[in-house]
Amino acid sequence: MMRKVAWLLTISCIFVSGCMAPAMFSKTQTFSGGDSFKLSEPREDILDVLARTGKAIGYSVSGLDRAGETIAFSSQSSGLATITYGGYSQKSLQIKVAEGGRLLKIDASIAGNFGAGTQEVADQEISRFKTALLAELKK
């Protein structure tokens, strides 16, 4: 029985250390960018709409300033992804309501390895948010 436990622990250590090796030598990339989104008419509940939109596409609300009309979202890779293949990604969006509620200023910050922290990923996340927001606004 002890041999089986020792064998299992050895295999587990080799698996974890073997999968973490690529991550230790991979370059972390970061990118920050932004875009804007014009609303046809202002909405009093826009921060609530933005919160529902972010949650619907897998983000967590990480900041909310109702007086400053700003909401922040974040998402990061799971610990399991980091352990199993060494992948790391962290995404954050910040949306500022401007021009009396008619304009949304969207800022994205992306970081990660294995191509997860590029401008293309930031553009995709902003586009994904805008698409989901349009769908939420039509409800």
Asked if residue 6 has pLDDT above 70, the reply is: no
- Please write the tens of the pLDDT for every residue from 107-128: 999 998 887 788 899 999 999 9
What per-residue confidence (pLDDT) applies to 62? 96
pTM, 2 dp: 0.77
Cβ-based neighbour number of residue 109 at 10 Å: 19
Write down all domains in the chain, each with its CATH number in brackets: 2-137 (3.30.310.10)
What per-residue confidence (pLDDT) applies to 2? 65
Beta carbons of 32 and 122 less than 8 angstroms apart:
yes
Instruction: Tell me which residue of 81, 109, 113 sits closest to 16, measured CA to CA.
Output: 81
Scored b (16 or more CB within 10 A) or e, 2-17 reads eeeeeeeeeeeeeeee
- Please write the tens of the pLDDT for every residue from 64-101: 999 999 999 999 866 665 555 567 788 999 999 999 89
